[in-house]
Amino acid sequence: AQSVTQPDIHITVSEGASLELRCNYSYGATPYLFWYVQSPGQGLQLLLKYFSGDTLVQGIKGFEAEFKRSQSSFNLRKPSVHWSDAAEYFCAVGASYGGSQGNLIFGKGTKLSVKP
């Protein structure tokens, strides 16, 4: 069965500092991987996605993520955090084949706080 683990519940970084949010997944084959961001009381916004090919993917708002098959990880990074990045971040895995395609499994999220 698919699963996603986001080990960090809450992270605080200073504005301008670099950021890395961790995500580990469990899936029998190469999965589809996603990062979403959610502001309080809002829906989820897609930051970036990985389906295949280049393991370093670029997303919106200056975010990038790297797929590492050997570590079953898909960590999200940003070189310089802005105060507006404060939000909750969710990693999700989707099946690349079979009957459960389209059924996204989400981690529990990492809440990012940014201090001035």
Partner 1 sequence: DAGVTQSPTHLIKTRGQHVTLRCSPISGHKSVSWYQQVLGQGPQFIFQYYEKEERGRGNFPDRFSARQFPNYSSELNVNALLLGDSALYLCASSLDRKREQYFGPGTRLTVT
* Amino acid type, 54: D
User: What distance in Å separates the CA atoms of residue 98 and residue 79, rounded to the nearest whole number?
Assistant: 37
Closer CB to partner 1, 77 or 111, in the complex: 111
| Cα→Cα distances 7→10, 62, 79, Å | 9, 23, 20
Nearest distance from residue 15's CB to partner 1, in Å?
A: 26
Nearest distance from residue 69's CB to partner 1, in Å?
A: 19
Closer CB to partner 1, 10 or 115, in the complex: 10
User: What distance in Å separates the CA atoms of residue 87 and residue 116, rounded to the nearest whole number?
Assistant: 15
Closer CB to partner 1, 1 or 116, in the complex: 1
φ, ψ dihedrals at 95, nearest 5°: -70, 135
Closer CB to partner 1, 80 or 108, in the complex: 108
Nearest distance from residue 2's CB to partner 1, in Å?
A: 10
Residues that bind partner 1 (CB under 8 A): 4, 32, 34, 36, 41-46, 49, 90, 92, 94, 96, 99-109
Task: State whether residue 60 is helix, strand or coil.
Answer: helix
